[in-house]
Amino acid sequence: MKRRATFSHRRMSFQRLEQRQLLAGPDYDISGALYNANGFHNTDGRHAQLGQRHLFAHVDLRYGRELWVSRSDDEPAKMIADLMPGEEESRIRPLIRVGDYVFFTAWVPNEFGVNRRRLFRSDGTAEGTVPITDRKVSDELGVFQDRVLFSVSGSTIREEPSEVWITDGTEQGTRQLLSDEDRIQEDTFRSAGDQFYFQMGWSDERFFVSD
């Protein structure tokens, strides 16, 4: 019997990586190291395998781009859910499997009818495809051990901070790790061993690492 790997969910804090020329090298060296570090199970984000179920984003003229599932070569694929009702697509991306779920973000209307990108998880069924948080998230996801990293985009106009979050797919296991007035860089989450990294700022780049 195979033993399932387990990870400790210890409390995290963050520290800024100091720009020391001799220790860390110039900024482009740090950026290159983070870019090449392992952080994703599926780098293209177009599909995900969940047991016998193959989940993927598919464009249909009736529904736009939505989440579909195929269980075998002999069974036709079918749409799991029309997250953005009608012909307008939900712009699903990326599809990343972590544990028993596939995580993705999708463009959907909120309770006031305003479209915004939200984080979802799916087990391959309509009933098991649910939003994790009502926060407006970016379309990038990162994988750290058995959990998913995501960010909430801030706004300088509305004086809203940028935030880094982590989730195990449950409401109880979803929590904020960092809030900062600066902007989180796109395609930023990288993991290496028992730590993960991300970058904030444009003109004044700052690099963060979990302890």
* pLDDT tens digits along 85-99: 888 888 888 899 999
> How many Å apart are CA 153 and CA 164, to the nearest integer?
9
Answer yes or no: is pLDDT of 15 > 90. no
Average pLDDT, rounded, for the chain: 76
Give the least confident one: 55-59, 94-98, 156-160, 206-210. 156-160
Answer yes or no: is pLDDT of 30 > 60. no
Q: Which helix (H) or strand (E) holds 35?
A: helix 27-36
Q: What angle do CA 158, 161, 166 make, to 5 degrees?
A: 140
For residue 194, what pLDDT band results from cuts at 50, 70 and 90?
A: confident
Tokens 């051990």 belong to 145
Highest mean pLDDT among 42-56, 73-87, 184-198: 73-87
Answer yes or no: is pLDDT of 195 > 90. no
Burial of 71 (0-12, 13-18, 19+ CB in 10 A): middle
Burial of 13 (0-12, 13-18, 19+ CB in 10 A): exposed
Q: Give Cα 165 distance to the centre of its chain.
A: 9
For residue 41, what pLDDT band results from cuts at 50, 70 and 90?
A: very low
What pTM did the predictor assign?
0.74
Closest by CA to 102, choosing from 59, 138, 53, 50, is 50
Answer yes or no: is pLDDT of 5 > 80. no
Residue 19 vs residue 80, higher pLDDT: 80
Q: Are strands 115-122 and 130-131 parallel, antiparallel or unpaired?
A: antiparallel
When pLDDT is averaged across residues 29-44 and rounded to a whole number, the result is 46
Give the least confident one: 4-8, 78-82, 104-108, 189-193. 4-8
Answer yes or no: is pLDDT of 122 > 90. yes
When pLDDT is averaged across residues 1-11 and rounded to a whole number, the result is 45
Give the least confident one: 115-119, 183-187, 194-198. 183-187
Residue 24 vs residue 118, higher pLDDT: 118
> How many Å apart are CA 62 and CA 127, to the nearest integer?
21
Answer yes or no: is pLDDT of 179 > 90. no
| pLDDT value of residue 115 | 83
Dump the DSSP string for 126-182: STT-EES--S-EEEEEEEETTEEEEEE--BTTTTB-EEEEEESSSSTT-EEEEEESS
* pLDDT tens digits along 158-177: 667 888 899 999 988 999 88
